[in-house]
Structure 1
Amino acid sequence: MKASQSRFTTSIKKILKNKWIKWLVILIAAILLFLFGLYISIYVGLFGKVPTIEDISSIKQEQATQLLDKDEKLIGKYYIYDRQPVTFEDLPKHLIDALVATEDSRFYEHNGIDNISLMRVFVKNLILQDKSAGGGSTITLQLAKNLYGRKNYAFFSMLITKFKESIVAQRIEEVYSKDEILTLYLNTVPFSDNTYGIESASIKFFNKSVQDISIIEAAALVGTLKANTYYNPRVHLERSKDRRNVVLNQMKNYGYLSEDSLEFYSNQDLKLEYRSFNHDLGLAPYFRAEVKKQLESILDTLKNSEGENYDLYKDGLIVHTTLDYKMQELAEAAMKEHMSKLQADFETSYGNNSPWETNSKLLERAISKLDQVKKYKDQGLSEKQIKDSLNIKRPTDVFSWKGDTIKNISTIDSLKHYLKFLNTGMLSVEPTTGAVRAYVGGIDYRYFKYDHISQSQRQVGSTFKPFVYTAAIDNDLNPCTYFSLNKVTYTNYDDWTPTNSGSEEEDIYINYNLENALSNSVNTISVKVLETVGIPKVLEQVEKLGISKKLPNEPSLALGVAEISLKDLTGAYASYLNKSKAVTPYYITKIEDKSGNIIATFEPEIFKEQAYSDYTRQVLLEMMKSTVNNGTASRLRSTYGLKNDIAGKTGTTQNNKDGWFVGLTPNLVTITWVGNDNHSIGFKSTGMGQGSNSALPIFAKFYQKLNKDSDYKSITGAQFEKPSEQVLSDLDCEPTKRDGFIKRLFKKKEKKKKFN
């Protein structure tokens, strides 16, 4: 035995005497010593702090703030990283099986580092050059990377990173159970389209929570982890399907799936129901943008348990709103159906003489307002240099109702293109509370950021007239008072002569009662009613309705020259359905932290005092019913076949710049506006631009859709309150009355007077 040991020792000495072998041994020893020293230096923090057990025990991940509708359906999110955490109980077994089979088959056997797998990788990958061997990374190692990211170092960057992650992985295994590690991993792993976490990915690609996804959907999502851009199912559906089948094969190989099941699932199509949560895309983008503004102000006043302000983008807040998800979908669909057709008619009406192409002064004014022009001027560029720069053509995304395209156009070309587009605003609120149910701030948020509900103020046209009549009735003007159609020139207002739309020739001997005058939106009579009640009382009435801005103190006020926001107008009109009390449209009901604790609540802002009497409200409601049944909004009945209880008011401003429609049903008030953002561009004709043609159809199509949905019977089937006997009696008179012979004999076709 001793002899054998002696011979072995002698052999070793002989081998080590070989200088090449000697240097090889020294080299290997040096490498091992270097690696050991590097590992120790990383461990003690010479290359930056390595998360401790305490750090890992209190992992805090950035989470998206969720925006929910009134029924807690997800509308959208605010985030830097799109992430919504879930618990292990939310994760279906087939998802876990797919993940483990594909990413880490020995997950339940190792302590964060799979030495057997690493050895296999070393032999197959490095020695046998088999690239299919994989990288030997475990789920826990990947989690370490997901949680703490990677830094670049000047030398040995990947080696340092791997050592760091191995230390963190082993500490993770010490702190968390295998189920908790899987949950953390699936809550932090990046999926396609800048999506973090399985819940966000499930909702984005399949419009369902992770607990509801099928085996093939789970396999598809797990498949994207290999390369989330290359296997993005939205962009590369077939490629994603092939990768999904690889995952299903892995599940079969490791006993999670039978051969028959593999064959069945592999032949299934991969069907997406993609939902984008990009801030510019998805449902209700204008609403989400407005809510975000409010949240930023609200969160400045709130502190978390650590005495710090909440972060809208990182703290995983849950914001409950008043919006109705499905109603919003119907509102947006109705808007797109009408506006796409109206735009085509609008462009056709101008033909080759469109102002956005031929009106040089209009173009020059529009160009001067461009931010780019202001920047060029600040840089000292000459007028010619600026013009040349604005005429350089570049590939540009261009909005079109026929489908977005990329065109090679200049800044000037782009300006002309967007000048022609009509825009819109539509708001639906619950009249008793002001809760916003549908909110359409424009035709497409990607290209038109300006919000026509909260930001815009436009002349409201004839939609102002009911406020004049309200003040008059509330100040004891009898509903059966008759006024002549006769035009009057008001000498103390620059000889202003209000006229009526339609035929030039009018029977000046015909007198309308108030109901007929309002339902047919007669301008001359509206001014006379204003004169009768007095401008101060109308202004006082409007202020009681929540419209606090200063309005014109002149007779043209009766025709709606005042510029009022759609939001304020809606709150005022709600009073006709809310016991004569105006409301303030509101969006948020409560805010919760990520644990579900309520940190703020919000109540409806309803005016405490009645703006006018119950009698006045009932009279005005009857008048606006007549507008729908027999007046300027009768298209709702004749063209669109709506049989709902509806009251309303159309509105058109001077030179057909703005079209309005107010639609009142017992449980919903809806206002629509249509016009061009450039005030110099109006409709070519009154027939096209009047509110009954430009704005009313959006409401009509919206209600057609609501009528088809049984979920909205409480809205579509609701009936107005029955007016009192006094109201019915006071409205019981002929709509028109003709002057007698003697009066006709002495009545002038047009008279001049001062406005009182």
Structure 2
Amino acid sequence: MLETIKRHPKLKWALIIVTSLIALFFLFFGSIYFGMWGKIPSTKELTELKQNKATQVLASNGDLIGKFYIFDRQPIDFEQLPPYLIEALIATEDVRFYEHDGIDNRSLLRVFFKSILLQDDSAGGGSTITLQLAKNIYGRRDFGMFGIVINKMQEAVIAKRLENIYSKDEIIQLYFNTVPFSDNTYGIESASLKFFNKHTSELRLEEAAVLVGMLKASHYYNPRIFPERSRLRRDVVLMQMAKYGYLTETEAEESKMQPLVLDYKSYSNNKGVAPYFREQIRKDVSKILDTLKNKDGQKYNIYRDGLIVHTTLNYDMQILAEEAMIEHMSELQEEHEKSYGNYAPWVRNKDILNDAIKRSERYQNLQKEGLSEKEILKKLEETRPTELFQYDGMETKNVSTIDSISHYLKFLNSGLLAVNPENGAVQAWVGGVDFRFFKYDHVAQSKRQVGSTFKPFVYTAAIENGMDPCSYFSVREVTYDDGWTPSNSSSEGDDPNMNYNLKTALSRSMNTIAVKVLMETGIGNVINQARRMGIESDLPQVPSIALGTASLNLEELTSAYTSFVNNGHYSKPYYITKIEDGNGNKLAEFKPQISATKAFSENTRKIMLNMMQATVNEGTATRLRYKYGLQNDIAGKTGTTQDNKDGWFVGITPELVCVTWVGSDDHRIGFRNTAIGQGANSALPVFAKLMQKMNSDSQFNEITNARFQALPSDLAVMMECPPEERDNFFERLFSGKKDKRSNDKNNEDEKGKKKKKGFFKRIFGSKDDN
């Protein structure tokens, strides 16, 4: 043999080359195996996949709020996987799954030679279910031109170890619980619920084939975006099942004849305490982790690294807040529907209903399939068993998609945010009435017009700029340059000759006076004051801003109001205090964000608190006293927007600032009347019920028993003036027609400025002048 090689130099060099390539391969593989290209998880680490390595989210007292874990948030057992789902996966992804030990050597060699020798990155193949599981769990990194080879070899090592640890059935279960689908969906259960609105165990054969078909390229075969591609891919899966004996040819053909019908819904089974808060934590922590690396130089993974997230949330207050909201909203919803009777806009207003139908995922999917509007509507009128949200329990009805859309249009929604004003620490966060059916978070995501809850900014600016709290303004209506004439909700009973001081005007939420105070103070001064209190959103430079035409969210509004009980400094809501690894090592820490400068003087702060206490004691929020029996020290402000679209309430105690909002997700649907829709009726009761519950629990005594400081004597004297003052005879006689606002500084009509003393008072004086 050696002689033959010596006599044939070409054979000698060929042997050297082959031997060198084999040696290089083993050296290359060894460098990967021993972690030169990045650490590969050990058998022990892979074994711990079954153990609790979830990221834990803890309340301020250490109670567990929720977890984020590798199986996504909706893991299922192997027994819940239909046999044909497993068969579809094996037939299309790994036909020799039950024969190999994690690596299909034939396919792997093909990929190796195609990828290295032919530089064919799209060669594909060779990826067994176990290899894909390794990729699902640990992801891939960029190693340049040899990245695909390095990643696949790392996955091969992991796959071999997984096969040694887990049974085939356990690997299938792990795979289906971790595999990514499109639309930011992970796990078969989440995908089944999102695309077909049913549990995995309920999937029909053709539906299972659609989901398995997506695994080849989840976006490209997304049935919501590309239904025809998805249908063709589904048919390929069905034929693969027939090819390998899982289906007969007849069964495959019959399934291929079935139309691809989605019941798309961004829906998950997140339950338990604070679901909206937990979802916000997930988003924020994921972003934070993108900036952190572990000791191996890798980014942390929120689903597998066993982190501990400490939050400010008061676990018990959160439970009470959720209970308070549901109790009130269930009553208000009934009142809301009853008020409309047979004239409900979600039924009778075809524009609203049609718009909602056209915005629905189902409509858009059918439209992309090329169906005419008539054909789409016919499909949407088809009925099927559907689980519907109700306050008295879920119910399954045989309804159409249109019926379902109309059903959800009628529901009011709500948001609540409660913080410690001293540092902005979030105590309770309720983003909506039910996270399972209403994903939109009305704390973090929603911006709505704030109505009269903006008025305290106007009055704060007025007092800070030197206006006397005992200034009197006429309740009389004024028309401004743009033709706008604000009126009060009780304008029919207003005496145009009556004048009110600032405290009374604010506590009774008088629109006409609020605008006059704004105009005298200056729109620019009011906007600057709001900015100093932490308002960052756009504020329109128009007179109507006094009535809350600006759109803000709960976090922003809550932050601004903390300045009234935090010595003039606003505190931004914050809720994550620190993140630790599983061993208690601190990875990140977060401190309160409190404004460095005061938004207003101490005297202004105390005067405004006194005026907002009057709102509760004698103004628009008095039902806190007479209906709910609250004796706590409370300041507050109600708010209602135009056409009763939004109801607001801001409740302030020395140790807690709580803002509540109620309204419809569709801005076009308001309350039927002000009696139902005003903030005092729609939003205030959520706060009231929360305070009632806290009053009954001694653990909240520090909050519920807290008292405001009394006004200093000098400020008390300053505010000692009658709440109202009527024009005397000559003032009534010469007051003329309705006031008209003008830019002409010499206009003799009332310009909304504070009312001067009457003629006889100026000549003869009065007891108050002594």
Structure 1 residue corresponding to 2:556, chosen from 540, 545, 568: 568
| Alignment match, 2:651 | 663
SS at match of 2:628: coil
For residues 421 and 345 of structure 2, what CA distance do their matches in structure 1 show? 40
Contact 1:426 1:672 in 2 (8 A): yes
> In the alignment, which of 690, 712, 715 is matched to residue 702 of structure 1?
690
| Alignment-derived partner of residue 288 in structure 2 | 298
Aligned with 1:501 (options 467, 472, 489)? 489
Q: 1:60 to 1:539 in 2, by over 3 A?
A: farther
CA shift for structure 1 position 503: 4.8
Q: Does 1:595 align with 2:583?
A: yes
Displacement of 1:407 in angstroms is: 1.1
Asked whether the equivalents of residues 67 and 75 of structure 1 are also in contact (C-alpha less than 8 Å), the reply is yes
1:461 has 2:451 as partner: yes
Of 625, 632, 640, 2:613 maps to: 625
| 1:459-501, Cα deviation, whole Å (9 max, x unpaired) | 10000000000000000000000001111111x21x1110000
Change (3 A) 1:632 1:82: same
SS at the partner of 2:492?
coil
Whether 1:482 and 2:472 are equivalent positions in the alignment is: yes
- Aligned counterpart, 2:379: 389
Decide which structure has the larger Cα Rg and report it: 1
Aligned-pair CA distance for 1:54: 10
1:73 partnered with 2:60: no
Specify which of 442, 448, 462 is matched with residue 452 of structure 1.
Answer: 442
AA matched with 1:705? K
Indicate if the aligned counterparts of 2:72 and 2:303 stay in contact, CA closer than 8 A: no
Q: Which of these residues, 432, 443, 446, is aligned with residue 422 of structure 2?
A: 432
Measured against aligned partners, the alpha-carbon deviations of 1:499-520 in whole angstroms (never above 9, x if no partner) come to 0002513211111000000000
Whole-Å separation in 2 of the counterparts to 1:403 and 1:457:
29
Q: Distance in 2 between matches of 1:159 and 1:466?
A: 67
Contact 2:458–2:514 (CA under 8 A) maintained in structure 1: yes
Cα distance between partner residues in 2 of 1:447 and 1:155: 40
Tell whether 2:318 aligns with 1:328.
yes
Shift in Å at residue 156 of structure 1? 6.1
Q: Structure 1: which 5+ residue stretches go unaligned?
A: 1-48, 84-150, 161-183, 197-228, 230-277
Encode CA deviations 1:706-727: one digit per residue, 9 max, x unaligned.
0000000000000112322222
Q: CA deviation at 1:730?
A: 1.3
In structure 2, do the counterparts of structure 1 residues 55 and 80 end up closer, same or farther at CA, with 3 Å as the change threshold? closer
Structure 1 residues 739 and 57, CA gap change in structure 2 (3 angstroms): closer
The AA in structure 2 aligned to 1:428 is A
- Separation in structure 1 between the aligned mates of residue 591 and residue 563 of structure 2, nearest angstrom: 18
Residue 410 of structure 2 aligns with an amino acid whose one-letter code is: K
Q: TM-score, normalised by structure 1?
A: 0.67
Aligned residue for 1:635? Answer: 623
Partner residue of 1:362?
A: 352
CA displacement 1:24-58 (0-9 Å, x = unmatched) = xxxxxxxxxxxxxxxxxxxxxxxxx9xxx994455
Residue in 2 aligned with 1:61?
48
Residue 551 (structure 1) aligns with? 539
Q: 1:55 to 1:730 in 2, by over 3 A?
A: same
2:701 aligns with one of 705, 708, 713 = 713
Task: Give the secondary-structure state (helix, strand or coil) at the position aligned to 2:530.
Answer: helix
**Is the CA contact (8 Å cut-off) linking 1:442 and 1:448 kept in structure 2?**
yes
- Secondary structure of 1:61's counterpart equals helix
1:352 partnered with 2:342? yes
In structure 1, the residue matched to 2:246 is none
What amino acid sits opposite 2:511 in the alignment?
N
Shift of the 735–602 alpha-carbon distance from structure 1 to 2, 3 Å rule, reads: same
- Name the CA distance, whole Å, in 2 between partners of 1:416 and 1:54: 51
Change in CA separation of 1:412 and 1:306 when aligned onto 2, cut-off 3 Å: same
Contact 1:487-1:749 within 8 A present in 2 as well = no
Residue 377 of structure 1, CA deviation: 2.5
Asked whether 1:281 is paired with 2:268, we answer no
Deviation string, structure 1 residues 99-123 (Cα, Å, up to 9, x no partner): xxxxxxxxxxxxxxxxxxxxxxxxx
SS at match of 1:438: strand
Q: Taking structure 1 as reference, are residues 647 and 158 closer, same or farther at Cα in structure 2, changes over 3 Å only?
A: same
Q: State the partner residue of 1:4.
A: none
Q: Aligned pair in 2 of structure 1 residues 554, 651: CA closer, same or farther (>3 Å)?
A: same
Matches of 1:300 and 1:384 in 2, distance apart?
48
Q: Which residue of 1 aligns with 2:641?
A: 653
CA contact (8 A) 1:592 1:598 kept: yes
Of 736, 741, 755, the residue aligned with 1:753 is 741
Q: Secondary structure at the match of 2:302?
A: coil
In 2: Cα distance, 1:594 partner to 1:535 partner:
53
Runs of 4+ with deviation above 4 angstroms: 57-60, 151-160
* Counterparts of 2:298 and 2:174, CA distance in 1: 31
Tell me whether 1:510 sits opposite 2:520 in the alignment: no
SS in 1 for 2:352: helix
Out of 570, 575, 584, the position equivalent to 1:582 is 570
Q: Quick check: 1:570–1:670 contact (8 Å CA) kept in 2?
A: yes
Shift of 1:157: 7.5
1:88-487 alignment, distance < 5 Å: 153=96, 280-487=270-477
Q: Provide the rounded CA distance (Å) in 1 between the counterparts of 2:596 and 2:305.
A: 37
CA contact (8 A) 2:387 2:397 kept: yes
From 728, 738, 744, the equivalent of 1:740 is: 728
Is the CA contact 2:382–2:400 (under 8 Å) kept in the aligned structure 1? yes
Q: Secondary structure at the match of 1:631?
A: coil
| Identity between Structure 1 and Structure 2 (%) | 53
Aligned 8 A contact 1:279 1:285 in 2: no
Q: Deviations over 1:298-333 (max 9, x none)?
A: 111000110010001111100000101100000000
Q: What's the secondary structure of 2:647's corresponding residue?
A: strand
Between the aligned partners of 1:440 and 1:588, the Cα distance in structure 2 is 16
Amino acid at match of 1:374: Q
The amino acid across from 1:389 in the alignment is K
Residue 648 (structure 1) shift: 0.3
Q: Distance in 1 between matches of 2:97 and 2:355?
A: 55
Per the alignment, do residues 622 and 405 of structure 1 end up closer, same or farther by CA in structure 2, a change over 3 Å counting? Answer: same
Deviations 1:614-657 (A, max 9, x none): 11110000000000000000000000000000000000011111
How far, CA to CA, are the matches of 1:356 and 1:289 in structure 2? 29
Q: Decide whether the 8 Å contact of 2:537 with 2:551 is kept in 1.
A: no
**AA in 2 matched with 1:481:** S
In 2, Cα distance between equivalents of 1:291 and 1:625: 34
Contact in 2 for aligned 1:468/1:526 (Cα 8 Å): yes
SS in 1 for 2:313: coil
Q: Tell me: CA distance 1:639–1:54, structure 2 relative to 1, closer, same or farther (3 Å).
A: closer
**Cα separation, 2, equivalents of 1:517 and 1:615:** 19
Change (3 A) 1:598 1:744: same
Q: Distance in 2 between matches of 1:562 and 1:556?
A: 9
User: Quick one: structure 1 residues 193 and 486, their matched pair in 2 at CA, closer, same or farther if it must change by over 3 Å?
Assistant: farther
Pairing 1:729–2:729 present = no
- Checking the alignment, whether the CA contact within 8 Å between 2:444 and 2:555 is kept in structure 1 is yes
Distance 1:158 1:453 in 2: 50
In 2, the alpha carbon distance for the partners of 1:342 and 1:646 equals 24
Matched residues, number: 535
1:616 aligns with 2:604: yes
2:590 maps to amino acid: F
**C-alpha separation in 2, matches of 1:279 and 1:472:** 50
SS at match of 2:362: helix
Counterparts of 2:320 and 2:459, CA distance in 1: 33
Q: 1:158 to 1:59 in 2, by over 3 A?
A: closer
Summarize the Cα distance change of 1:421–1:54 in structure 2 as closer, same or farther, 3 Å threshold: closer
How far residue 61 of structure 1 moved from its aligned partner, in angstroms, is 2.7
CA distance in 1, matches of 2:447, 2:538: 13
Q: 1:365, CA displacement in angstroms?
A: 1.9
Matched residue type, 1:61? E
